[in-house]
Chain A
């Protein structure tokens, strides 16, 4: 049996610039961090040669071709495994629900690939796992997503991820002093909106709008660099202002990104002293990230007390095999 652990990720600025349609014309940039919430994927040889999958549903099939789950089917095709395997998964957050905004589907795909290669006695480094996960999610399963999540979760840590016009993707770690890192975390609050949503509908619209929104996205790509600079200087107010601007721009990218409930949550937080924030991921639901001076946190928590507060820490770990037995 092999079990992998792969972090979820929190994206601060630049989401949307990781679509190939954009970065082939202008370099995309994203600042994001892995957090200490993980997706665990386990694989084991199946005694009777069939395939059994356990996620929100279970599937027991004779051969790979009969599998319903598009990402598992894609990963088995990619690794050349046809049958004789048990696969299960679980996560620290309800990550099987679509559209949490924490990169869960990529975390699952990268973690599954890592486990499947180990199952075959092989090893692939983080960049290969990320790129293969992109192939599976974007090309095979036709998810209308970009490439930031796969790289963020395969590598782990806090990074500036650069999507170059020639297709090359670079993960540049942002190294912070202990106190700065701690201070940064102390300014952040994460709330669950309680909403499920289909990220894919929003992202499809966003993808179709790339031409129209090209200038917006160029601005967001530049903001990633300004955000990194402000972070290294410890200018949290400026970072929050950038999150706020990023969120205002993002809302323009597709119609479902915000809604009256999210706007109300966000306005409540701002009214209670938050400097800025954003809905994580594609929008429309999932998690609201708020940035505020620590002394205002209790007021913000009170204003948003009907929503679940999720404690978290940044994580340096990328996708990792955490258990292996013969």
Chain B
């Protein structure tokens, strides 16, 4: 049992050590610039990645400023496009599942905004379509990907890649990166 547990953490550790710090720094720069311009940050993901998106939204919107809740400090405006069941089912039912994020993005996107796309495979059609929509609107895109990076890797401006083929490892690392970025802004803002 001890070996089993240790092996998981060794694997996770090895993957985390491969992360390009420059790409995370690039992601931080994109988020900070969006914050400075009063822009919104849209997050998208499927399944476990949708949960990471929701979690990260909460951290950006609340945790970063949580200690100073009563002070009138400008806040992040992060929105998960995976959280609205009626919007998701409407687009999925009427148009197709690949449009659930891109169509919601079209309702909100402004020049000052940014997109964070989370996908272990980097190939989910609804994620790719949303990033293509974001690019056509000239929104910067941060990609959190796993496996071989998929299409999302090449489409992203900040490419955060965990080259493991296991969902458990990729998603754990993605969560850690979101917490790292949260901590950065907690200290900075």
Write the residues of chain A forming the contact surface with B, with a CB cutoff of 8 angstroms.
Answer: 5, 36, 118, 123, 156-157, 173, 175, 177-179, 181-182, 315-318, 320-322, 324
Q: Identify B188's interface contact among A36, A156, A181, A322, CB under 8 A.
A: A181
Q: Which residues of B lie under 8 Å from residue A5 when comparing CB positions?
A: 37
Q: Are A320 and B29 in contact (CB under 8 A)?
A: no
Q: Are A175 and B25 in contact (CB under 8 A)?
A: yes
Q: Is the interface of A mostly helix, strand, loop or mixed?
A: mixed
With A123-B138, A175-B25, A175-B29 already in contact, the answer to whether A320 and B111 are too (CB < 8 A) is yes
Interface size counted on chain B using CB atoms at 8 A: 18
User: Per-residue CB proximity of B107-127 to A under 8 Å, as 1/0?
Assistant: 000111000000000000000
Contact A316 B36 (CB under 8 A): yes
Given contacts A36-B36, A157-B33, A320-B37, 15 further A-B contacts (CB under 8 A): A118-B111, A173-B25, A173-B29, A175-B25, A175-B29, A178-B184, A178-B187, A178-B188, A181-B188, A316-B33, A317-B36, A321-B112, A322-B37, A322-B38, A324-B110
* Interface membership of B22, Cβ < 8 A: yes
- Interface membership of chain B positions 11-53, coded 1 if the CB is closer than 8 angstroms to chain A and 0 otherwise: 0000000000010011011001100111000000000000000
Chain B hits for A317, CB < 8 A: 33, 36-37
Chain A residue contacts of B28, Cβ below 8 A: 175
Tell me, in angstroms, the Cα distance from A320 to B39 when the chains sit together: 11
**Total number of residue pairs linking A and B with CB closer than 8 Å:** 43
Residues of chain B within 8 A (CB-CB) of A181 are 188
Residues of B within 8 A of A315 (CB): 36
Q: How far is the CA of A82 from the CA of B32 in the complex (A)?
A: 37
What distance in Å separates the Cβ of A129 from its nearest Cβ neighbour in chain B? Answer: 12
Q: Are A321 and B187 in contact (CB under 8 A)?
A: no
A318 to B, closest residue via Cβ? B33
